[in-house]
Structure 1
Amino acid sequence: MRLISGSAGGIPLDVPKNVTRPTQDRVKQAIFNMLGELVDGARVLDVFAGSGALGLECLSRGAASALLIEQDRAACEVIRKNITKTRLEGASVRQGDVFKILPQMAGTTTFDLVFADPPYANKPGEEDLSLKLALLPELQALMAPGGSLILECRVTKAAPIEWGPWEMVRDREYGSTRILWLRKR
């Protein structure tokens, strides 16, 4: 895994062992091709950050700042190493449960872009964290007007989901990965 483009393009990133499902380079490239100029100068939030690849890719492409939230302590250490390795400024890491941290942050700042790659529901009965996150009122409160949520989830044959307060901009599938671009109404 590496950063694809920008000031730190080509720099390889470390990946935490056993706790993440890194976004494939081709999927990352597709995401950033979709977003185009929206990244430049953006305030970015990367939740379920894993290696920090999406937030760091934004900084490499000119984002103003990136807050990376990850629950796993070892993954946070890997993110910090990746920040040091890439020498990108404007990155900060917060360790903890996304569903506890976001309510604590509500009303303190806003973000233009939010990237989320939560753990997939792999078995019947497991909670869909993608939908739970998208419907979280505190996430809406943290979004700048017209802000975008880029949500990575599993491709399913289930009935279409109503994404509540979000306008669907794009819905793309890359193998078993589904990328949703949702914009705050």
Structure 2
Amino acid sequence: MRIVGGKYRGRSLLGPKSDAIRPTSDRLRESLFNVLVHGYGDPCDGARVMDLFAGTGALGLEALSRGAAYAAFVDQSAEARGLIRGNVDAVGLAGVTGLLKRDATKLGPLAPFEPFTLAFCDPPYRKGLGERALASARDGGWLAPDALVVLEEAGDVAVAVPEGFVTEERREAGETQLLFLRRA
């Protein structure tokens, strides 16, 4: 695994030792960020990014490499938090990141943080966790008005987009789907 674009392009990232963490592949991350740059006016530039079910932190780190101002990584797994810490330290981004040990489906209120303008949600597939996490982020005030959200899920799953989100587009990549949502 590596960062595929931006200031830190080519930097290696630590990967999981178990199957409990399923990182987004380099190829899919590259496609995802190409869609963001060319279809959404480069939402990384100056963004406050939230990476839900962060795993290795690759999505948030990629956003920071491409100009995001801050990234918060949310994961309750000890293995994931260790990987995220190692990757943040390896790239030298400790000053512009936060690591939250939380269940992404039960975020609670945002305070004292500022809302996020870009969010990635890459939960374990086929469990409905993405929808629950987005509802939790919405209810806790974690997302700024008009925030862009990218939800990754298995391609054969019918995602029930929570109230308060509008689907901008859906992309398929192999056995994965990417939903680009806007916080209404």
TM-score (normalised: structure 1)? 0.88
Residue of structure 1 in register with 2:97 after alignment: 91
Please list every run of 5 or more consecutive structure 1 residues that lacks an aligned counterpart in the other structure.
122-126
DSSP 3-state at the match of 1:82 = helix
In the TM superposition, 1:164-175 aligns within 5 A as 164-175=163-174
DSSP 3-state at the match of 1:172 = strand
Residue of structure 2 in register with 1:146 after alignment: 146
Residue of structure 1 in register with 2:61 after alignment: 56
Amino acid at match of 1:96: R
Residue of structure 2 in register with 1:6 after alignment: 6
1:180 equivalent in alignment to 2:179: yes
1:38 equivalent in alignment to 2:43: yes
1:76 equivalent in alignment to 2:77: no
**How many angstroms does 1:134 deviate by?**
2.7
Query: Are the structure 2 counterparts of residues 157 and 43 from structure 1 closer, same or farther at C-alpha, using a change threshold of 3 Å?
Result: closer
DSSP 3-state at the match of 2:35 = helix
Query: Are the structure 2 counterparts of residues 139 and 43 from structure 1 closer, same or farther at C-alpha, using a change threshold of 3 Å?
Result: farther
**How many angstroms does 1:141 deviate by?**
1.8
Please list every run of 5 or more consecutive structure 2 residues that lacks an aligned counterpart in the other structure.
none
Identity of aligned residues (%): 38
- Give the root-mean-square deviation of aligned CA atoms: 1.8
Query: Are the structure 2 counterparts of residues 183 and 94 from structure 1 closer, same or farther at C-alpha, using a change threshold of 3 Å?
Result: same
Asked if 2 retains the 8 angstrom alpha-carbon contact of 1:15 and 1:50, the reply is no
Query: Are the structure 2 counterparts of residues 106 and 165 from structure 1 closer, same or farther at C-alpha, using a change threshold of 3 Å?
Result: farther
**How many angstroms does 1:128 deviate by?**
1.1
Amino acid at match of 2:65: S
Query: Are the structure 2 counterparts of residues 23 and 162 from structure 1 closer, same or farther at C-alpha, using a change threshold of 3 Å?
Result: closer
**How many angstroms does 1:161 deviate by?**
3.4
